Structure 1
């Protein structure tokens, strides 16, 4: 369910309120009068919040071995085990991708090498949030090589949320313009311009650390908000 709310603050500018005349020469050489139209500028804000419906899990494996070859081979074996566990937890192959692959030496009093460390990361997209705990448990159950590096939540259909926020921002601006026109004893005329200001306040909600495994119902995606600000210029009659 989408909840809509808007902020009360607004920018308000009136130009040419008295309709001051400006003089210009006509085609036949006589002086004519051009009356500048009055304008009002208002800023509207729209904020829409909705529960995320998608989770990204950053998982992986990490191993240490005496040689580079042994470390790399062990990491690949552990990563295959992790992938198999995630698929068994209900994820689709298309929702798994390798996000990291590294191999490097470890030192004790550089440049003395004491071993090699290899890692392989996997990003898993969980589309059914009811199974989020099951997926995390499956990743953690791979063994001592398993690593959980964090999760984030997203709304899959961001465009629909932005459209709703734009509509709310425009309604907010129109209501303010009508009020200011009434306060100034004028009538609201046509729209001169509409400008959407800045970017949209949106993006994934991060949640880091293995504390996500605290209990059987530990995952809480909360709400994600998208904000839009629009500046609208009206004529005043």
Structure 2
């Protein structure tokens, strides 16, 4: 049996319709209770900011929580280094996700800057339904492979026969815009004091590609 194997490449461009805000809060204190209470206070400020712009406090989801002891190397009078306890570091990672709206995003960022929680803030632009993008991508790759196979067969005087095999490595697609939006915690007090709100932006389209290999019988 004669066969032909062709790798099809799919390309899809999608406009971002979903926003994911990642917020990281870290506190450091000599006592565990103080580190936890400071973190709780800052999270409550963030929840209040979310409520002020139309969300429920439950919409602010915790994605990770971590408490560690911190030490640093300190030189004594003899010039020797020793480990010295610094405190308890409490870290919360949270996210707030909502449908893309440039004006709403500006309101959310301004509210966060004004609440005094000072989180590390980063914003990702994606799509609400990544599976729909994946489906279009596979259809595109399949059509691309078949078109290539038919051209090759025609050029060689052959006929494309029955499909024998599909080889695809199913993985997680990176369905995120290349547009980055980050605000350092030290900048947020300046944003809060400014009379100007956060700027409205239009993120770049999401471009994704994937490949699938097909094997056909040729006659």
What TM-score, normalized by structure 2, do the two folds share? 0.75
Q: Which has the higher helix share?
A: 2
Which residue pairs with 2:48 in the alignment? 84
Q: Per-residue deviation at 1:124?
A: 1.3
What TM-score, normalized by structure 1, do the two folds share? 0.70
Instruction: Tell me if the contact between 2:27 and 2:35 (Cα under 8 Å) persists in the aligned partners.
Output: yes
Which residue pairs with 1:210 in the alignment? 183
Deviations 1:107-153 (A, max 9, x none): 6836555666544442211224331121122112111x411232222
Which residue pairs with 1:27 in the alignment? none
SS of the residue aligned with 2:198?
coil
Aligned 1:171-190 pairs, distance under 5 A: 171-190=143-162
For structure 2, list consecutive stretches of 5 or more residues without a partner in the other structure: 75-81, 192-196
Q: Per-residue deviation at 1:69?
A: 2.8
SS of the residue aligned with 1:90?
coil
Instruction: Give the alignment's Cα RMSD to 1 decimal.
Output: 3.0
Deviations 1:164-210 (A, max 9, x none): 11111111111111111111112222222222245354243473631
Distance 1:38 1:105 in 2: 66
Distance 1:42 1:114 in 2: 60
Which residue pairs with 2:194 in the alignment? none
- Structure whose CA Rg is larger: 1
How many residues align? The count is 200
Go from structure 1 to structure 2 and tell me whether the alpha carbon gap of 1:89 and 1:162 turns closer, same or farther (over 3 Å shift). same
For structure 1, list consecutive stretches of 5 or more residues without a partner in the other structure: 1-36
Distance 2:165 2:73 in 1: 66
Aligned 1:124-139 pairs, distance under 5 A: 124-130=96-102, 131-139=104-112
Distance 1:107 1:231 in 2: 53
Distance 1:194 1:56 in 2: 35
Which residue pairs with 2:203 in the alignment? 221
The answer as to 2:140 corresponding to 1:164 is: no
Higher RCO (CA < 8 A, seq sep 6+):
2
Q: Per-residue deviation at 1:106?
A: 6.9
